[in-house]
Structure 1
């Protein structure tokens, strides 16, 4: 059953769970209210009829590298290219994919000191399949060449927050810090937003996106996240404006994560409020996307020139991480 820890549809309704590996028993998912009803009925017997398909499907990662730069010191950036079956996903994750694509295009003639590598991951929504396959199939010597990994998953949420991954766990919430060097990555982003006089929020390394396999092998990581199903607070509104009590992305994992959200099922009254406060193109906040795109380019350019701020990586020992089953549900 869905977990029901917020009032958002993503935590209340039916969900697209991922088992990860085949299991020997039937598994189905139900909504949180239905689960509560079942659990609260004494002596209940339920009969379920389901039509299912089990098949192997093919997906691909798209990888691009710069012509120049030290091949033994790679600055890697990534964003997932897929969306959930329910909708087109122009925010999740059209925004992140577009952000690193534009950065790569602008950097194509940059004779950087360090090699740049960009990845567009396949099947992220099916439990990080693309990035996990990539990292797990890199020999240890090739993993060691990746100086850092930058992740961009949802950087244009309509009711946004400027989230920066909490590399040093200064927020002391949820998962611990990232591997050594993650704090230095966070500092680059924090300095960027401070120069723009924009507040930031600590985004936790929950394991919900493609940084997970990288930090599990000891590669320092960082990145940006403008929020998903969590509701915006009054304190958030004081920092970034917007609508309190509404999700950072009200169309998260829905059909309305599109260029025509109201036509595709979004709350028309809520989106009318958002459009009064922000300039939206479909389900994308243009100010959030534009600002974060500049932050992406700044971080890539900074580390393209110099990674000496990062401490030497002496081990590839796995860093344990526990996903909370949110963005990309693994239940």
Structure 2
């Protein structure tokens, strides 16, 4: 994640301290699968191995980033997705977005899920943002494994150069025609979903976001409610890859487990963990390795991603 999210401000939002906001009625559809966290962790191990083999990072312009793109693409190609790699240039280096379309569904009614695949140069970026990248990858693979046939068209994206100013996602949205933008009805962003001292935050859909964002917020909250996990709303503004979509008036939502902000005593009582300590003490550091991930938070967020997708895309 590129810039700090103002958690303290988020706590002042009325009704933002629990997941009890009224969620939209459930749809009658195939139940979302329980995402096996061991599969997500296996993807994280692969990202760590790629970083280890490429100078310790998976950053924009570094070989570890392109290796990450190619590895994810191979998994999706084998599962029958239609993939394409979109290249762009920033700071004199070539960056890449990976876009993957699930077969079928209404091409005029698209649901997108995304997260940034790049790390900072100082480390392998396993929580930031291997966790979101690995989670949406496993959710994508489970679409195929379960035979899910959504009525909406589903598209996944892994963004490049987020850590340098949201470059990849901005490039993608700017490359779309007005008609293509209008076909995207929802974008869900997952950036840092396994922080070692986790919080459970849902993007505040009323925080200047496009119409329809509150419904996405409520859907994600409802997913956490099924797991008996309380949430807090967080004001995300333009600080992750949802920003380009919001600027294009596309409804946005997402989840987040915290960066270097400090967990309060009240939050520790609610979620466990350690008060007075950062949600992620290895944020943007070389210690952001596979040992810097809370498996419970990773598991819960992956399940909520699947819950929301199966309901929204059905």
Asked whether the two chains share a fold, i.e. TM above 0.5, the reply is yes
Q: Give the drift of 1:190.
A: 1.2
Q: Where does residue 248 of structure 2 map in the other structure?
A: 217
For residue 64 of structure 1, give the secondary structure of its aligned residue in structure 2: strand
Q: 1:161-201 CA distances to partner (integer Å, 9 max, x unpaired)?
A: 00000102xxxxxxx33100000001111111122211101
For residue 60 of structure 1, give the secondary structure of its aligned residue in structure 2: strand
Match of 2:233 among 189, 197, 202: 202
Q: Distance in 2 between matches of 1:247 and 1:294?
A: 24
Q: Where does residue 19 of structure 1 map in the other structure?
A: none
Q: Distance in 2 between matches of 1:177 and 1:122?
A: 25
Matches within 5 A, 1:61-100: 61-100=97-136
The answer to which structure, 1 or 2, has the higher relative contact order (CA under 8 A, 6+ apart) is: 2
Q: For the pair shown, which has the larger CA radius of gyration, 1 or 2?
A: 1
Match of 2:96 among 48, 60, 63: 60
8 Å Cα contact 1:178/1:205 also seen in 2: no
Q: Please, what is the CA RMSD of the aligned residues?
A: 1.9
Q: Does 1:289 align with 2:298?
A: yes
Q: Where does residue 300 of structure 1 map in the other structure?
A: 309
Per residue, is there more helix in 1 or in 2?
Answer: 2
Q: Where does residue 256 of structure 1 map in the other structure?
A: 287
For residue 75 of structure 1, give the secondary structure of its aligned residue in structure 2: strand
For residue 194 of structure 1, give the secondary structure of its aligned residue in structure 2: helix
Q: Does 1:178 align with 2:188?
A: no
Matches within 5 A, 1:31-70: 56-70=92-106
Q: Where does residue 167 of structure 1 map in the other structure?
A: 205
**Aligned CA distance change for structure 1 residues 55 and 202 (closer, same or farther; 3 Å):** closer
Q: Give the drift of 1:111.
A: 1.6
Instruction: Identify unmatched segments of 5+ residues in structure 2.
Output: 7-89
Q: Where does residue 111 of structure 1 map in the other structure?
A: 149
Q: Give the drift of 1:110.
A: 2.1
For residue 59 of structure 1, give the secondary structure of its aligned residue in structure 2: strand
Instruction: Identify unmatched segments of 5+ residues in structure 1.
Output: 7-53, 169-175, 260-281, 306-331
For residue 92 of structure 1, give the secondary structure of its aligned residue in structure 2: helix
Q: Distance in 1 between matches of 2:275 and 2:236?
A: 24
Q: Where does residue 162 of structure 2 map in the other structure?
A: 124
**Aligned CA distance change for structure 1 residues 254 and 184 (closer, same or farther; 3 Å):** same
8 Å Cα contact 1:149/1:211 also seen in 2: yes
Q: Where does residue 229 of structure 1 map in the other structure?
A: 260
Matches within 5 A, 1:260-279: none
Q: Give the drift of 1:55.
A: 5.2
8 Å Cα contact 1:165/1:223 also seen in 2: yes
Q: Distance in 2 between matches of 1:160 and 1:81?
A: 20
8 Å Cα contact 2:208/2:237 also seen in 1: no
Q: Which runs of 4+ in 1 moved over 2 A?
A: none
What is the TM-score of this pair, normalised by structure 2? 0.70
Q: Does 1:148 align with 2:186?
A: yes
Q: Give the drift of 1:115.
A: 0.5
